[in-house]
Structure 1
Amino acid sequence: MAEVLPVGITGLAVLSALGRGSEPQLAAALSGTAAFGPVRRFDVSGRRVGLAATLDRAGSLSDELAGVVEQACQDAGLTAGQRAATPLLLAVHGHPGAGAEAVRLAERAGLAGAGRVYIGACVSASTAVADAALLIRRGAERVLVAAGYLVESDQFALFDAGQALATDGAVRPFSAGRTGLLLGDAVAAVLLESEAAAAARGRRPATRLVGWGRAGDAYHPCQPAPDGGGLARAVEAALRRAGVAPDALGYINANATGTQLSDAAEAAALRTALGAAADRIPVSSTKAVHGHALEASGLLELVITVLSLQAGKLPVNAGYLGPDPSCPLDVIAGSPRPVASPYALSLNSAFGGANTALLVQAT
């Protein structure tokens, strides 16, 4: 059995259209209360779809990122000296000033500096988390990962023109009758820390990251490989790294966006990676309540997965109308289920065939 990584999650902060802080994220995920509504942040009068999950009175992305980074540091109880030794990994939409923005964000929070900026679409944040864990495994005491996306006109227009947005006002992962995704705001920060460093300052994390996996399909620029081969390999790698058998899994927060091809490919991936266990592992996608936050999706969904384990309840798959034969999974419909295992996966996939799997354990 592989050695379990001693990486704890010792601080977090989050906001989305569901609200600011952990409580509204968890409440909506457990009740299946979606945050989608008319977009008023920019003009959508010429678009096929005019809905998204946007936070009222959101500040600039830079200010919102600074806020969650500060809150995560406070949540973790970091001193000024500990901050000064903590690097920042930032996941945001790619633009020429992203690197400088990361440097300013680190300086504003008193962190050691911006180690890397991740712009790899919808696996940006989850890739940053995996890299943070690797840095800690190699000797770093702690790493702060932050990610942010606020729904804006350019990406909205691209997804609308590509006819990827849901036409019925709801995101229905793995469901019969699903018509597409809807975008959503998300800004989050998570502090990952070696358990030895956490113990030295009197902290015992309630959840830890015990495994991760990354793999590519290289199948098509936009479409997933129908067999989900890359995601299956990412899931297998995460389990193998942690020494956890598929039967030990208690929950999967799926990437499932509510699109026909992507959800079916993910279901195929899970059946390949998990075998017979896929019939009985509870699955849902919290994108059904908060929307698709692109580069920030992986961190928001990881946070909700962690909060759910700590609360002892699993999120419902909102918008579910009934089973689709192309998605033969144990979808959580109707009401939350009790947590039956300390292990949960959070999955993400991106255009270009990139796939990630993060495995967490409640302690």
Structure 2
Amino acid sequence: MTCSPVLVTGLGLLTAHGRGPARLLAAVLAGEPAFSEVRRFDPGRSRVRAAATLADAGDLTAELVAVVADACDDAGLAHRRAECQLFFATGTGTTVVRSGGQGNGPAELAAAVARRSGLSGVARVYTSACVAGSTALAEAASMIARGRCERAVVAGGFLVDADHQALFDAGRALADDGAVRPFSKDRRGMLLGDGIVAVVLESAAGTRGRGDRVRSRLAGWARAGDAYHVCQPDPGGAGLASAIRAGLARAGVTPAELAYVNANGTGTMRADAAESSALRTGLGAVAGSVAVSSTKSVHGHALEASGLLEFAVTALALDAGQLPVNAGFRAADPQCPVQVVREPSPMVGRYALSCNLAFGGANTALVLGAV
């Protein structure tokens, strides 16, 4: 069953490429990564010292407030923020204990962002690892489609820190050659990246009189779990394939209508192979011909904010009519038989898919449509 329209009307972004969408869009369309040796903090004894970071990023709360303001301004809602609830994605690792034992965890951070941004309050907080942002988008869209709210701000943020850098380095998950090469035979792992994102979603009625503000449509969404392993992906990609099929069905879109897939593509051996299997199962006969890239190869992995960041990038690329390049790709891997975008190319079609996976077997699929 096709859902009621959910429109993307505002975007706010802060990544290693800077603030706002222009430089990030240019980088992903050209396949120009932002990875370099970390300067914002001392990576200590980490084997891998590279990430996509801003040298001068400020306090996480302040940066989130600024990006929410950018998104509301982009949507033409600068003076109507009190009409928006916040759906917030963050990590449990943001918890800081203040003096006196008072916690400042995810819920408190969300409340502070909503209050300082002038929003009406916090609807929900998501800490579901690398699908937190995409899950927040899906649930906000569901509420809008059902008429339970007219508009929402979906926001999340991750700034690379010494603890996360050391954690992923110790797990040998980081690429020791300083590059993320999704789906390439010689891929060596992921790299972290700063990502603070806010997306404004609205109903069609909510944009009345402001039609020129619509960027794209969130046409379909779905989530599925496979519970294969606490951290290893299901090699067959059953959960993601199920989410892809359900998201397309909700959107009323066939696999043949997809022009592009923004893949989860972490650049790790098992995850990329499993996602390739999921795409083959979920998209069927057209899986080998749909353009695929992972923009993590350019902006890095923003953990809980990654689903939001990649959704925003996909929306920008769909609007521009250009395919994001899968940076770092050097050699085809028989375990990843997907049509990787290797050079700047036009996007032919009106629909795109953004996929995300997380530890524990959580999977999301978001279908975007051009306007």
Give the shorter-chain TM-score range: over 0.9
Shift of 1:122: 0.4
- Between stretches 17-26 and 252-261, larger displacement belongs to 17-26
Aligned to 2:89: 91
Given that residues 40 and 55 in structure 2 are in contact (C-alpha distance below 8 angstroms), is that contact kept between their aligned partners in structure 1? Answer: no
Aligned to 1:245: 254
Given that residues 305 and 344 in structure 1 are in contact (C-alpha distance below 8 angstroms), is that contact kept between their aligned partners in structure 2? Answer: yes
Which of these residues, 132, 152, 160, is aligned with residue 124 of structure 1?
132
CA distance in 1, matches of 2:15, 2:213: 27
Aligned to 1:346: 354
CA distance in 2, matches of 1:226, 1:9: 33
CA distance in 2, matches of 1:101, 1:181: 27
Aligned to 2:2: 3
Aligned to 2:101: none
Aligned to 1:199: 208
AA matched with 1:355: N
Aligned to 2:169: 160
Alpha-carbon RMSD across the aligned residues, in angstroms, is: 1.1
Aligned length: 360
Q: Quick check: 1:47 aligned with 2:46?
A: yes
Aligned to 1:115: 123
Question: Which consecutive residues of structure 2, in runs of 5 or more, have no partner in the other structure?
Answer: 96-103
Which of these residues, 87, 99, 108, is aligned with residue 100 of structure 1?
108
Shift of 1:69: 0.4
CA distance in 2, matches of 1:236, 1:18: 33
Given that residues 18 and 25 in structure 1 are in contact (C-alpha distance below 8 angstroms), is that contact kept between their aligned partners in structure 2? Answer: yes
Q: Quick check: 1:214 aligned with 2:223?
A: yes
CA distance in 1, matches of 2:203, 2:68: 19
Question: Which consecutive residues of structure 1, in runs of 5 or more, have no partner in the other structure?
Answer: none
Shift of 1:181: 0.2
AA matched with 2:24: Q
Shift of 1:202: 4.7
**SS state at 1:189 partner:** strand
1:1-363 pair list within 5 angstroms: 2-78=1-77, 80=79, 82-94=80-92, 95=95, 96-139=104-147, 140-203=149-212, 205-333=214-342, 335-363=343-371
Shift of 1:79: 5.1
AA matched with 1:223: Q
Shift of 1:56: 2.0
- Between stretches 335-344 and 42-51, larger displacement belongs to 42-51
Shift of 1:41: 2.3
AA matched with 2:72: C
CA distance in 1, matches of 2:67, 2:315: 17
**SS state at 2:363 partner:** strand
Deviations 1:177-203 (A, max 9, x none): 000000000001000000121125455
CA distance in 2, matches of 1:26, 1:289: 10
Given that residues 69 and 78 in structure 2 are in contact (C-alpha distance below 8 angstroms), is that contact kept between their aligned partners in structure 1? Answer: no
Given that residues 195 and 204 in structure 1 are in contact (C-alpha distance below 8 angstroms), is that contact kept between their aligned partners in structure 2? Answer: no
Given that residues 228 and 265 in structure 1 are in contact (C-alpha distance below 8 angstroms), is that contact kept between their aligned partners in structure 2? Answer: yes
- Between stretches 224-233 and 200-209, larger displacement belongs to 200-209
- Between stretches 277-286 and 194-203, larger displacement belongs to 194-203
Given that residues 211 and 358 in structure 1 are in contact (C-alpha distance below 8 angstroms), is that contact kept between their aligned partners in structure 2? Answer: yes
AA matched with 1:92: T
CA distance in 1, matches of 2:134, 2:211: 27
Aligned to 2:99: none
- Between stretches 90-99 and 159-168, larger displacement belongs to 90-99
Identity fraction in percent: 57
Shift of 1:3: 2.0
- Between stretches 62-71 and 90-99, larger displacement belongs to 90-99
CA distance in 1, matches of 2:43, 2:11: 33
CA distance in 1, matches of 2:319, 2:228: 37
Deviations 1:288-327 (A, max 9, x none): 0110000010111111111111111101110001110000
CA distance in 1, matches of 2:3, 2:322: 24
